[in-house]
Amino acid sequence: MSPFKSDRIWNQHVFLGPPISSSRRRRSGRAPLILSATTVREGSSHPLGDDVPGGRLSVIKHAVSADQDTVRRSQLTLSYTETYRLIGRDPSSTSFATPAPRSMFNPYTRTAYLPGMVESACSSTWDMFEFPTMSLEMVPSILPLVATTYKNTFFSSSLVDRETRFNIRLLRLYLGRELPSTIHELQPGLRSDLGLDVSRYIRLDKALQGIAPLPPLHDVAYGMGRILAQLHYGVGIDGMDIELVLGGDGDHGLRCWVIDYNQCERWLPPQPLSHLGTGLATTGRYASGSLDDGARRLAKRISALEHYYPRPHQSLYSHFQAGYRVGVTASIDKYRPKPPTAAWAAEAEAVVQAGEAFLETYEIKSKESLEAKARIAARRQKVANV
C-alpha cells in the first residue's frame, strides 16, 4: 500500500529540499534522482516548503502502513532519534555518522513531531502522504570522481558501454562477504548502491590514492563493531538489516554512514543502560532467558543474515572485535553513577559478559558456516571429478 494518495511509490526516497542547480549537483555529487524516486524538479517548489529545517535537503525514507500505525510509528521514530542522539556526527565516537531525523508526519492529527518535541501543525504540502511518514536528512552521495573510478575499476567493458548514464550514489561496505572481481550485470534494486568487499575496497583505494583516499579499512571495521554495540546497548535495538555504506561528507571528501533502522527490533528497553541497577530485562523475540541468551540470539541472527561485518577468519576481525568491546563499555560508562552501587556494578558486569557472549557466539556460528561451505565445495568437486 502506498503512503501517497495519488501515487504507487512505497518506501522510496523523495527529495524534500530546495531545488538543486546543475552546478551545485556537480560540486556536491548529488544526483537529481534517488532510486525510483519522485523528485523536486529544478525551478519547482519543494514538497514541504518551510517545514524543512534550514532549507537543507531531506528525503522521505520510510512510511508506516496503516496496520502498523501507533506502535510501529513510535518504534521507528525512537530508533532514529536515539541513534542520532548517540552517534550523530561525533568523530570521536565512531568513524560512522547517521542521518538526522527531521520529523514524523501524522496524517490523522495533521501534525509533525519527533520524540521529546511538541507536535506542531503542518502546512498543506504534507497532503501527498496518506499514512504516517518520516523525513530524514539526505546522506550525501559519493564524489562523482569516486563513482567513475569504481565503474572503470570493476565494471566489465561491455557494462561500461551499456551504462553510460548510470549513477552510483552510495557503496555498501560488505567486509564479511566476497564479491566477484568484475561486475558484468547490475542487480535490480541495488543499482545505485553497489558493493565493496575487502578486495574491492583495497583496489579502489589504490586507484584513488592522491585523489580521494578511502578511510583506512581497520578504522571502518573498528567503527562497525562500535556502532553495532552502541545500537545493542545504547539504543536497545538488534541492528538487523541496517546498511553500512560509504557516502560523501557533504563537502569534498568521503564518510562512512549507518542508515535504515526500519527493520530493527527492540531487544532491550529504550535507553537500556539507564535501567542498570533496577533490573535490565530483554524484550520482544529476545525476551525469554538471560541477557547472555538474548546476546547469543543476536549473534546467531547477525551471523546468518548480515554481510557487512568482518568474519573471525579475516584479519580485520580483531578491529571489529575491539570496536564492539569499546562500544559496550562506552555505553555503560555513559550511565555510570558516582559512586556506583553494588546492584549497578553487578548489572554492568552482566552487560560486559553479554557482549562477550555475543562475540563468542558470532565466532562459533561464523566458523560453522565456513566449514559448511567447505563441505559443500568438496562435494561439488567430488561430483565434478566423477
DSSP per residue, 286-308: G-SS-HHHHHHHHHHHHHHH--S
In a domain, 245, yes or no: yes
**Number of domains comprising the chain:** 2
Report whether the peptide linkage leading into residue 180 is cis, meaning its omega lies within 30 degrees of zero: no
pTM of the complete model: 0.81
Burial of 336 (0-12, 13-18, 19+ CB in 10 A): middle
Are 128 and 151 within one domain? no
In a domain, 16, yes or no: no
Last residue of a domain, one of 102, 118, 137: 137
CB environment 270-279: b (16+ within 10 A), e (fewer): bbbbebbbee
Question: Would you state the pLDDT for residue 287?
Answer: 87
Spatial separation of the C-alpha atoms in residues 19 and 137, rounded to whole Å: 15
Last residue of a domain, one of 93, 109, 137: 137
In a domain, 17, yes or no: no
Question: Which of 113-122, 185-194, 222-231, 306-315 is the least confident region?
Answer: 113-122
8-state DSSP, 113: E
Are 218 and 322 within one domain? yes
Last residue of a domain, one of 100, 118, 137: 137
Are 277 and 375 within one domain? yes
In a domain, 13, yes or no: no
CB environment 221-239: b (16+ within 10 A), e (fewer): bbbbbbbbbbbbbbbbbbb
In a domain, 11, yes or no: no
Spatial separation of the C-alpha atoms in residues 194 and 183, rounded to whole Å: 10
In a domain, 8, yes or no: no
Q: Residue 209's CB: how many other CB atoms inside 10 A?
A: 9
Give me the DSSP letters along 320-355. Answer: HHHHHHHHHHHHHHTT--SSPPHHHHHHHHHHHHHH
Give the orientation angle of helix 217-229 with respect to helix 198-208, to 10 degrees. 130
In terms of residue numbers, what domain contains 29?
Answer: 22-137
Taking only the tens place, the pLDDT of each residue in 206-254 is 999 888 889 999 999 999 999 999 999 999 999 998 999 999 988 888 9
Spatial separation of the C-alpha atoms in residues 238 and 302, rounded to whole Å: 9
Question: Which of 56-70, 271-285, 325-339 is the least confident region?
Answer: 56-70
Are 252 and 269 within one domain? yes
Are 200 and 78 within one domain? no
Q: How confident is the model at residue 126 (pLDDT cuts 50, 70, 90)?
A: low
Are 70 and 163 within one domain? no
In a domain, 7, yes or no: no
Are 160 and 228 within one domain? yes
